[in-house]
Amino acid sequence: MLKRTVMINGAKTTFVADAEEKLSDVLRKQLGLTGTKVGCGSGECGTCTVILNGKLVRSCITKIKKIEDNDEIITVEGVGSKDNLHPVQIAWMVHGGAQCGFCTPGFIVSSKALLDHNNNPTREEVRDWFQKNKNLCRCTGYQPLVDAVMDAAKLVRGEMSVKEFWKKIPEGASLVGSSLPRPSAMAKVTGT
Protein backbone atom coordinates (compact mmCIF):
# COMPACT_ATOMS: atom_id res chain seq x y z
CA MET A 1 0.00 0.00 0.00
CA LEU A 2 1.14 3.53 -0.72
CA LYS A 3 0.44 6.63 1.33
CA ARG A 4 0.34 9.87 -0.59
CA THR A 5 -0.30 13.47 0.38
CA VAL A 6 -1.36 15.53 -2.63
CA MET A 7 -3.25 18.73 -3.40
CA ILE A 8 -6.67 17.97 -4.82
CA ASN A 9 -8.65 20.99 -5.98
CA GLY A 10 -6.46 23.13 -3.75
CA ALA A 11 -6.95 21.06 -0.60
CA LYS A 12 -4.20 19.00 1.03
CA THR A 13 -5.41 15.41 0.92
CA THR A 14 -3.83 12.20 2.24
CA PHE A 15 -4.89 8.75 1.09
CA VAL A 16 -3.64 5.19 1.31
CA ALA A 17 -4.17 2.92 -1.67
CA ASP A 18 -2.74 -0.05 -3.51
CA ALA A 19 -0.01 0.86 -5.99
CA GLU A 20 -2.02 -0.75 -8.80
CA GLU A 21 -5.29 0.98 -7.93
CA LYS A 22 -6.68 3.41 -10.49
CA LEU A 23 -6.70 7.12 -9.68
CA SER A 24 -10.35 7.26 -10.78
CA ASP A 25 -11.28 4.69 -8.12
CA VAL A 26 -9.43 6.55 -5.37
CA LEU A 27 -11.05 9.84 -6.39
CA ARG A 28 -14.55 8.41 -6.60
CA LYS A 29 -14.70 5.64 -4.01
CA GLN A 30 -12.28 6.81 -1.37
CA LEU A 31 -12.42 10.60 -1.63
CA GLY A 32 -16.04 10.95 -2.73
CA LEU A 33 -15.17 13.04 -5.81
CA THR A 34 -17.81 11.40 -7.97
CA GLY A 35 -17.89 14.23 -10.50
CA THR A 36 -15.21 12.28 -12.36
CA LYS A 37 -17.11 9.65 -14.32
CA VAL A 38 -15.86 6.31 -15.59
CA GLY A 39 -17.15 5.26 -18.99
CA CYS A 40 -14.93 2.77 -20.79
CA GLY A 41 -12.46 2.28 -17.94
CA SER A 42 -9.72 1.65 -20.48
CA GLY A 43 -8.48 5.05 -21.63
CA GLU A 44 -10.66 5.41 -24.72
CA CYS A 45 -13.46 7.87 -23.92
CA GLY A 46 -12.03 10.73 -21.84
CA THR A 47 -14.91 10.96 -19.40
CA CYS A 48 -12.55 10.33 -16.46
CA THR A 49 -10.18 13.17 -17.45
CA VAL A 50 -8.49 15.13 -14.66
CA ILE A 51 -5.56 17.54 -14.59
CA LEU A 52 -2.40 16.18 -12.96
CA ASN A 53 0.38 18.73 -12.48
CA GLY A 54 -1.06 20.89 -15.27
CA LYS A 55 -1.47 18.06 -17.78
CA LEU A 56 -4.56 16.13 -18.79
CA VAL A 57 -4.61 12.48 -17.79
CA ARG A 58 -7.26 9.82 -18.02
CA SER A 59 -7.66 8.80 -14.41
CA CYS A 60 -8.95 5.31 -15.28
CA ILE A 61 -5.55 4.35 -16.68
CA THR A 62 -3.45 6.31 -14.17
CA LYS A 63 -2.23 3.98 -11.45
CA ILE A 64 -1.59 5.22 -7.95
CA LYS A 65 2.08 4.23 -8.23
CA LYS A 66 2.44 7.11 -10.73
CA ILE A 67 1.24 9.65 -8.15
CA GLU A 68 3.90 11.39 -6.06
CA ASP A 69 3.63 13.35 -2.84
CA ASN A 70 2.74 17.02 -3.49
CA ASP A 71 1.25 16.29 -6.92
CA GLU A 72 -1.56 18.66 -7.87
CA ILE A 73 -4.80 17.21 -9.15
CA ILE A 74 -7.81 19.13 -10.44
CA THR A 75 -11.12 17.35 -10.97
CA VAL A 76 -14.37 18.83 -12.28
CA GLU A 77 -15.27 19.80 -8.71
CA GLY A 78 -12.21 22.06 -8.71
CA VAL A 79 -12.99 23.77 -12.02
CA GLY A 80 -16.00 25.68 -10.70
CA SER A 81 -19.04 25.39 -8.49
CA LYS A 82 -22.69 26.36 -8.68
CA ASP A 83 -21.92 29.78 -7.18
CA ASN A 84 -18.68 30.27 -9.03
CA LEU A 85 -18.97 28.68 -12.46
CA HIS A 86 -16.00 28.55 -14.80
CA PRO A 87 -16.64 30.18 -18.22
CA VAL A 88 -16.53 26.73 -19.80
CA GLN A 89 -19.32 25.51 -17.51
CA ILE A 90 -21.49 28.53 -18.34
CA ALA A 91 -20.87 28.09 -22.06
CA TRP A 92 -21.72 24.39 -21.84
CA MET A 93 -25.10 25.26 -20.34
CA VAL A 94 -25.90 28.00 -22.86
CA HIS A 95 -24.92 25.84 -25.84
CA GLY A 96 -26.67 22.68 -24.62
CA GLY A 97 -23.37 20.83 -24.38
CA ALA A 98 -24.62 18.55 -21.61
CA GLN A 99 -27.18 16.23 -23.14
CA CYS A 100 -27.00 12.84 -21.39
CA GLY A 101 -24.13 14.53 -19.53
CA PHE A 102 -21.95 11.49 -19.10
CA CYS A 103 -19.06 12.91 -21.10
CA THR A 104 -19.49 16.40 -19.63
CA PRO A 105 -17.07 16.38 -16.66
CA GLY A 106 -14.27 15.11 -18.90
CA PHE A 107 -14.97 17.78 -21.53
CA ILE A 108 -15.21 20.53 -18.93
CA VAL A 109 -11.86 19.60 -17.40
CA SER A 110 -10.27 19.17 -20.83
CA SER A 111 -11.61 22.52 -22.11
CA LYS A 112 -10.42 24.34 -18.99
CA ALA A 113 -6.93 22.91 -19.56
CA LEU A 114 -7.02 24.00 -23.20
CA LEU A 115 -8.02 27.57 -22.32
CA ASP A 116 -5.41 27.72 -19.52
CA HIS A 117 -2.86 26.95 -22.19
CA ASN A 118 -4.37 28.87 -25.13
CA ASN A 119 -7.22 31.32 -24.54
CA ASN A 120 -7.66 32.10 -28.24
CA PRO A 121 -7.91 28.75 -30.02
CA THR A 122 -9.32 28.26 -33.50
CA ARG A 123 -12.21 25.84 -34.00
CA GLU A 124 -9.74 23.46 -35.58
CA GLU A 125 -7.48 23.63 -32.55
CA VAL A 126 -10.44 22.88 -30.25
CA ARG A 127 -11.37 19.82 -32.32
CA ASP A 128 -7.74 18.67 -32.44
CA TRP A 129 -7.48 19.09 -28.67
CA PHE A 130 -10.52 16.92 -28.05
CA GLN A 131 -9.23 14.33 -30.49
CA LYS A 132 -5.74 14.31 -29.01
CA ASN A 133 -7.11 13.94 -25.50
CA LYS A 134 -9.67 11.32 -26.53
CA ASN A 135 -12.75 13.22 -25.36
CA LEU A 136 -15.70 11.42 -26.93
CA CYS A 137 -19.36 12.47 -26.99
CA ARG A 138 -22.12 10.30 -28.43
CA CYS A 139 -24.94 12.84 -28.12
CA THR A 140 -24.01 16.25 -29.48
CA GLY A 141 -22.12 15.79 -32.73
CA TYR A 142 -19.43 18.04 -31.21
CA GLN A 143 -20.53 21.29 -32.86
CA PRO A 144 -22.17 22.72 -29.70
CA LEU A 145 -19.12 21.69 -27.72
CA VAL A 146 -16.77 23.57 -30.04
CA ASP A 147 -19.20 26.56 -30.02
CA ALA A 148 -19.12 26.45 -26.21
CA VAL A 149 -15.33 26.51 -26.03
CA MET A 150 -15.14 29.38 -28.53
CA ASP A 151 -17.57 31.44 -26.42
CA ALA A 152 -15.91 30.42 -23.16
CA ALA A 153 -12.65 31.72 -24.62
CA LYS A 154 -14.35 35.11 -25.24
CA LEU A 155 -15.42 35.15 -21.58
CA VAL A 156 -11.90 34.25 -20.46
CA ARG A 157 -10.42 37.02 -22.65
CA GLY A 158 -12.92 39.52 -21.25
CA GLU A 159 -14.51 40.21 -24.67
CA MET A 160 -17.95 39.31 -23.39
CA SER A 161 -19.50 39.53 -19.93
CA VAL A 162 -21.34 36.65 -18.33
CA LYS A 163 -24.48 38.83 -18.30
CA GLU A 164 -24.27 39.45 -22.05
CA PHE A 165 -23.72 35.77 -22.59
CA TRP A 166 -26.86 34.76 -20.70
CA LYS A 167 -28.77 37.34 -22.76
CA LYS A 168 -28.36 34.97 -25.71
CA ILE A 169 -31.37 33.26 -24.15
CA PRO A 170 -34.56 35.25 -25.00
CA GLU A 171 -36.57 36.31 -21.97
CA GLY A 172 -39.71 34.27 -21.34
CA ALA A 173 -38.75 31.68 -23.93
CA SER A 174 -40.30 28.25 -23.53
CA LEU A 175 -38.14 25.34 -22.47
CA VAL A 176 -39.97 22.76 -24.55
CA GLY A 177 -38.44 22.19 -27.95
CA SER A 178 -35.95 24.99 -27.37
CA SER A 179 -32.23 25.14 -26.92
CA LEU A 180 -32.58 26.55 -23.39
CA PRO A 181 -30.45 24.94 -20.70
CA ARG A 182 -32.01 21.81 -19.30
CA PRO A 183 -32.90 21.95 -15.60
CA SER A 184 -30.22 19.32 -15.00
CA ALA A 185 -27.50 21.25 -16.86
CA MET A 186 -26.00 22.85 -13.75
CA ALA A 187 -25.56 19.47 -12.05
CA LYS A 188 -23.98 18.01 -15.14
CA VAL A 189 -21.44 20.78 -15.72
CA THR A 190 -20.37 20.84 -12.07
CA GLY A 191 -20.20 17.06 -11.73
CA THR A 192 -22.75 16.87 -8.95
Which H, E and C letters describe 106-134, residue by residue?
HHHHHHHHHHHHCCCCCHHHHHHHHHHCC
* Span 12-51, contacts to ligand FES by CB under 6 A: 38-41, 43-48
Beta carbons of 174 and 167 less than 8 angstroms apart: no
Beta carbons of 90 and 96 less than 8 angstroms apart: no
How many residues bind ligand FES, per CB under 6 A? Answer: 22
Backbone Cα Rg of the chain: 17
Beta carbons of 90 and 131 less than 8 angstroms apart: no
**How are beta strands 72-74 and 49-52 bridged, if at all?**
antiparallel
Closer residue to ligand FES, CB minimum distance, 27 or 137: 137
Closer residue to ligand FES, CB minimum distance, 85 or 148: 148
Using the rule CB under 6 A, is 80 a contact of ligand FES?
Answer: no
Rounded (5°) CA angle 71-73-75: 170
Closer residue to ligand FES, CB minimum distance, 7 or 139: 139
* Span 132-191, contacts to ligand FES by CB under 6 A: 137-140
Closer residue to ligand FES, CB minimum distance, 60 or 115: 60
CB of 42 to ligand FES, least distance (A): 6
Closer residue to ligand FES, CB minimum distance, 160 or 180: 180
CB of 110 to ligand FES, least distance (A): 11
Closer residue to ligand FES, CB minimum distance, 119 or 142: 142
Element (H, E) at 12: strand 11-17
* Span 83-142, contacts to ligand FES by CB under 6 A: 98-103, 137-140
**Sheet containing 72-74, strands listed edge to edge, beginning at the edge strand earlier in sequence:** 11-17, 2-8, 72-74, 49-52, 55-58
CB of 120 to ligand FES, least distance (A): 25
CB of 99 to ligand FES, least distance (A): 4
Q: How far apart are CA 93 and CA 185, in angstroms?
A: 6
In the complex, the residues that contact ligand FES under the rule CB under 6 A are: 38-41, 43-48, 58, 60, 98-103, 137-140
